[in-house]
Structure 1
């Protein structure tokens, strides 16, 4: 069995997902969650890649609670096989270094990678990140039924009154809140610590319902004060500043900056926007050891 599992969250573009699978499947065990609203053909992928584990459990809503539930589900599934490392990426990521280089680097550095800094974060809006969880947000309500519209309106009014009268939801007792990147590499000890904490604190996750972008908080808060060996470093190259998308959808003009970064992966890519940059990066990484 491989010592490294790569967990991938996918929601669109089957061609790009298959490109990612083909570049990773020979050296890693892959666990892939496909959004329930996606047009990706899960049955076709199961047939083509019998050694890859595919799931389709959640309708993932950007900034909502399912962005926590989905990676946690993949963590639990993969942890049953007790890997040395668990790498969480999205299907819009591309590896920048070869599979051998990924394995070698993890073996040499022998650590988890979790960007986790104590709140409040000066670069984050909404009270340095605290209001992501202390206000009620409409993120989890996306339907267009009369009931959904009413629910959104009620939650929105609650949030307005919270701000007006400085009322906040209570934070979970006994923890300090940390924030950082969703995308992580967890060594076995960090994975065990994470799942044990959640199992021993069943009410903890519920505090993130009706929150905003708490996928950048829940795991980071648990591991931010743990004794697990961790590097506070990003595993992915991202461009949050150039636009027109935030983060930027990377294009061929970004090629030099991408390949000169020290990261394991880069994101985000979309072959419907720029296919050339994806193939050029993969050709380069597959020609090096």
Structure 2
């Protein structure tokens, strides 16, 4: 077991399914990082999870939230877990946000060395979402930027008195009074999964606790988890961000969810500079996890 300080790094887990895979991930993190602080938001409405099987360094958000894919409940669960983590007296210098389907690719020493020697406050994927990008003829690999503008920067209006009447406002001159964005507060989008230091965590917690227009707006829209934290952090001029989520994720299959990683993906995983990868499924291929255990031990 590496000689790692308990407050060097902590983990936020968002989980809702496959208890055996969750136990395995927690055991792996304990083995690699010498029983770090792990704060888990588990949706007990979706499946049970036995706390008796877990070590004392694992804390649970109580009461838990009923989470749903693409809804603001995912954002709220993340913030509540961050709050719990940084209420602890010996809170970690860095946090890493993981799902139950994630698994480490690098050794604990490499992950810690990369983070503790970093000049950055957070590693997060973020791209500015603009009307110009939305109107351009985009290639397929940039389609998500266009979709992000539709999600976060357009506004649909309807009339209760006119059946089937609906109009979509797209141009910033029309949407400006209806959206929380401005020259000082731009909209950003990217992957939900990120990591940050204590300063970034406390800024998110403090920002979220305020009754600000940005938080109120994101509570009302879908897929806030892919824009809310990006927008908060990328507009914080005192924070230094690295546009890198430090995750290996394969979107080659298309659709709303990434490819489930198998043994056939191992060569690509080994080439990656990412710290973690997702997503894995213990019921489909546990051999890939066994091999990663061997590599990262």
TM-score scaled to structure 2, two decimals? Answer: 0.80
Q: 1:38 to 1:205 in 2, by over 3 A?
A: same
Give 1:22 shift. Answer: 0.6
For 2:3, the equivalent position in structure 1 comes to none
CA distance in 2, matches of 1:75, 1:199: 12
Give the 3-state SS of the residue equivalent to 1:186 in structure 2: strand
Give 1:203 shift. Answer: 3.8
Contact in 2 for aligned 1:184/1:234 (Cα 8 Å):
yes
Cα deviations across residues 109-144 of structure 1 (Å, max 9, x unaligned)? 24220111100365245844132135679xxxxxxx
Cα deviations across residues 180-209 of structure 1 (Å, max 9, x unaligned)? 111111112212222232334444322113
The counterpart of 1:37, out of the listed 19, 42, 45, is 45
- Are 1:186 and 2:202 counterparts? no
Q: 1:84 to 1:110 in 2, by over 3 A?
A: farther
- Are 1:221 and 2:231 counterparts? yes
Give the 3-state SS of the residue equivalent to 1:33 in structure 2: strand
For 1:71, the equivalent position in structure 2 comes to 78
Query: Across the two proteins, how many residue pairs are aligned to each other?
Result: 265
Q: 1:245 to 1:205 in 2, by over 3 A?
A: closer
Contact in 1 for aligned 2:154/2:170 (Cα 8 Å):
no
- Are 1:15 and 2:20 counterparts? yes
Q: Which runs of 5+ in 2 are unaligned?
A: 1-5
The equivalences for 1:105-124 within 5 A come to 105-111=114-120, 112-120=122-130, 123-124=142-143
Q: 1:14 to 1:130 in 2, by over 3 A?
A: same
For 1:4, the equivalent position in structure 2 comes to 9
**Higher mean Cα deviation, 273-282 or 162-171?**
162-171
Give 1:276 shift. Answer: 1.0
- Are 1:236 and 2:247 counterparts? yes
RMSD: 2.7
Q: 1:161 to 1:253 in 2, by over 3 A?
A: same
Q: 1:165 to 1:244 in 2, by over 3 A?
A: closer
Give 1:164 shift. Answer: 8.5
**Higher mean Cα deviation, 192-201 or 205-214?**
192-201
TM-score scaled to structure 1, two decimals? Answer: 0.82
